[in-house]
Amino acid sequence: MTNGTGSGRVPLPPALREGLLAHPVPAPPLASPGRRSLVVLAVAAATAAVGLATRGLRPDLAELGTSAWIEAGLRTGLGALLFALALRAGIPGAGPARAWGRAALVAAPIVLLAVIDWAVPIGGHSPVGSDSAGWWSGALRCFPVETSLALPAALLAGALLARAYPLRPVFAATAGATGAALVADAVMHLTCPARMWTHTGLVHGGAVAAVALLGALLGLAMRGKTRTAAR
C-alpha cells in the first residue's frame, strides 16, 4: 500500500487527505448485488426450511392442491426480487428507478396479501373460510412466529446494505426486509391452517408490515450515518 505521496496537479484538500487516512485501502470491490442477494435468499430459504420442519405442513394442504404451493412460490419469488432490488440500491447509480422501486415495494405485498389471499381463483382455495374461531385466535401465535422467521434474512440484508453505500437507504432496507417477510409469509401460508382473510391478511399481513417497518427504521439509521460520515 502506498502512502499517497504522488504529485497530483491539484493538491488534495486537507479534508480529503484526512478522509483517505480514515478509510484505508486496499478496499476490494464488494461482490455483485446479484451474488449478495443470493446469500440473503439462501438464509431466507434455510430459515424457511426450519420453519416448515418445526411447524409441519397444514393438514388441509392436499385439499388446497397446487394452488397453495403456487401462492407460496409467488411469495418467495417476489421476496427474491425485492432482495435483488435492495442490494442493487446499495450501489450508487445501480439501484432501480424510483418509480419501479416504489411500485415493487408497494405492489408486491398488496398483490399477494390482498388479491391472492382474498380473491385467488387458483384451485379450490376459498377466500372466505369457515373457521369458527375469530381472527385473533392465532394472532398471538402466528405474528411472533412469522416475524421470527423473517428476522434473520431481514437483518442480514440490512447488514449487507450497511457495508455498501445506499443513496436511498430507507427504500433499500425496507425492500430487503419486505422480501424477507414475504418468504416467511410463504412458510406461514404452507403451515398455518387458518383460511379467514381476516387472519391471513391482518395477522400474517401485519407481520409483513411490521418487518417492513423494521427495515424502514434500519434505513433511517443508515441515512443518518451516511449524512454525517462525510463531515
Q: Footprint of another protein on residues 8-67 (CB under 8 A)?
A: 8-10, 12-13, 15-16, 19-20, 22-23, 25-30, 32
Give one DSSP letter per residue of 41-108, joined into a string. HHHHHHHHHHHHHHH---TTHHHHTHHHHHHHHHHHHHHHHHHHHHHHTTSTTTSPPHHHHHHHHHHH
d(CA 183, CA 225): 29
Binding segment toward another protein, per CB under 8 A, in 55-63, 73-81, 110-118, 157-165: 157-165
What backbone phi and psi angles, to 5 degrees, belong to 192?
-90, 125
Pair 125, 68: CB distance under 8 Å: yes
Q: For residues 90 and 205, which CB has a smaller minimum distance to another protein in the complex?
A: 90
Q: How far is the CB of 14 from another protein (least distance, A)?
A: 10
Q: For residues 198 and 226, which CB has a smaller minimum distance to another protein in the complex?
A: 226
229 touches another protein by CB under 8 A: yes
3 touches another protein by CB under 8 A: yes
Rounded (5°) CA angle 54-81-91: 120
Q: How far is the CB of 10 from another protein (least distance, A)?
A: 4
167 touches another protein by CB under 8 A: yes
Quick note: the x/- pattern for another protein over 75-114, rule CB under 8 A, is: ---------------xxxxxx-xxxx--------------
Could you tell me the three cell numbers for 217? 427504521
Q: For residues 21 and 49, which CB has a smaller minimum distance to another protein in the complex?
A: 21
| Long-range residue pairs from 93-98, CB within 8 A, at least 24 positions apart, any chain | 94/33, 95/166, 95/167, 95/168, 95/171, 95/172, 98/168
d(CA 187, CA 146): 8
Q: How far is the CB of 212 from another protein (least distance, A)?
A: 21
Q: How far is the CB of 39 from another protein (least distance, A)?
A: 16
Q: Give the interface with another protein as residue ranges (CB under 8 A).
A: 1-6, 8-10, 12-13, 15-16, 19-20, 22-23, 25-30, 32, 90-95, 97-100, 163-165, 167-168, 226-227, 229-230
